[in-house]
Amino acid sequence: MKKILTGSALGILFVILTGAFFASCKKKDTIAPPSPIGGFNNSNEVGASNLKAHWTLDGSLNESISSTAPTTSAGTSFVTGVKGQAVNLANGYILYPVIAALNTANIGSVTVSAWIKTDNNGSQATDVFSLTQGTAAQTDWNTGVVTMYLETGHAITTDDTLVLHSAFSTYATGPRLGGDNINDYGVRETDFKTVKGTNKWVHYVMRYDGVGSNIDIFANGVLVSNNNFRHRTTGNPPVGIGPIVTTLGTQALIGAFANVASGFPGSTTQAWQGKFTGSIDEIRFWNTALSDADISSLYQLELAGR
């Protein structure tokens, strides 16, 4: 004989079922978000007030904050990146017009970060990112504000070793003053750190502190550049070069040195200069010198896709 549930029994059953339902929902709703890294929830929070340009390169070549499109691009396609997509360059480059947030005479200090994936070509150096003088004004490859490049044709480079080389220029006194640093020369692992990572994603950061007149290079969140080359001076007795001051009309260039081959008619293309072959992702430009801790946090956050 079938049993018929009374009203009280139905009520008890309803409470049990609804309680189980809400308990299930509660478990889903209370999944803890990822823990902050260095006090940041995501990479966009790192140096947020000083971030002046950001190329996510996630299916678009446009600079993401201003939506500025390039004037010229060659050899570009998109591949899977560290976060979303990345641009892949086949002996290619991308040149931008003036971006207002980067077109400042008194830049002071600067940090630039990018993810790169490339190989040593054994013959030519290749450029990752430059903030140049205008195409009509630049008369040599290294007279722009910032140049981040790779000694991919360097004589001592081995197959799995990347030599990172960065330089800056300032016109604070009128004539150009500048300096560079590199993870090479001197005593390996004492004066500088070896970077292993050809054909693997490597987080490349250059930083120039205009207050201390120090230029540094980081790879995967670790300081790798030469200790002996970081403090840049001028004069006798020597004094720090100081903050970056430049002429207006600056332009961003990805994947090539500023020369005739990339649209700079006054700058001769030199035999050692090549265009980039490989992938680049998540380029960021700050007008401040990020701390070592912030650079490490940025690396970890972007590596985690955050």
Asked if residue 84 has pLDDT above 60, the reply is yes
Three-state DSSP class for 229? helix
Asked if residue 14 has pLDDT above 70, the reply is no
Residue 290 binned pLDDT confidence (cut-offs 50, 70, 90): very high
Question: Rounded mean pLDDT of 215-235?
Answer: 97
Percent of the chain with pLDDT over 90: 82
93 burial type by CB count under 10 A (0-12 exposed, 13-18 middle, 19+ buried): buried
Mean pLDDT for all residues in the chain: 90
pLDDT at residue 153, rounded to an integer = 80
Percent of the chain with pLDDT over 70: 88
Q: Convert the pLDDT of each residue in 97-147 to its tens digit.
A: 999 999 999 999 999 999 999 988 888 999 999 999 999 999 999 999 999
Question: Rounded mean pLDDT of 60-72?
Answer: 98
Question: Rounded mean pLDDT of 33-41?
Answer: 92
pTM of this structure:
0.88
Q: Convert the pLDDT of each residue in 235-284 to its tens digit.
A: 999 999 999 999 999 999 999 999 999 999 999 999 999 999 999 999 99
**Phi-psi group of 174: left, alpha or beta (phi > 0 → left; psi -120 to 50 → alpha; rest → beta):** left
| C-alpha to C-alpha distances, 113 to 130, 131, 203, 217, 220, nearest whole angstrom | 11, 13, 7, 10, 10
- CA 214/CA 218 separation, integer angstroms: 13
Asked if residue 159 has pLDDT above 90, the reply is no
Domain boundaries, the chain: 43-303
- The domain 43-303: what is its CATH number? 2.60.120.200
Asked if residue 28 has pLDDT above 60, the reply is no
pLDDT at residue 121, rounded to an integer = 82
pLDDT at residue 183, rounded to an integer = 95
Of 77-81, 97-101, 185-189, 204-208, the one with minimum mean pLDDT is 185-189
pLDDT at residue 160, rounded to an integer = 82
Question: Rounded mean pLDDT of 166-195?
Answer: 94
pLDDT at residue 208, rounded to an integer = 98
Asked if residue 24 has pLDDT above 50, the reply is no
What type of residue is 93? Answer: Y
**Residues across the chain:** 306
pLDDT at residue 15, rounded to an integer = 38
Q: Which residue has the higher pLDDT, 235 or 32?
A: 235
pLDDT at residue 282, rounded to an integer = 98
pLDDT at residue 10, rounded to an integer = 39
Element (H, E) at 206: strand 202-209
Neighbours of 71 (CB within 10 A): 13
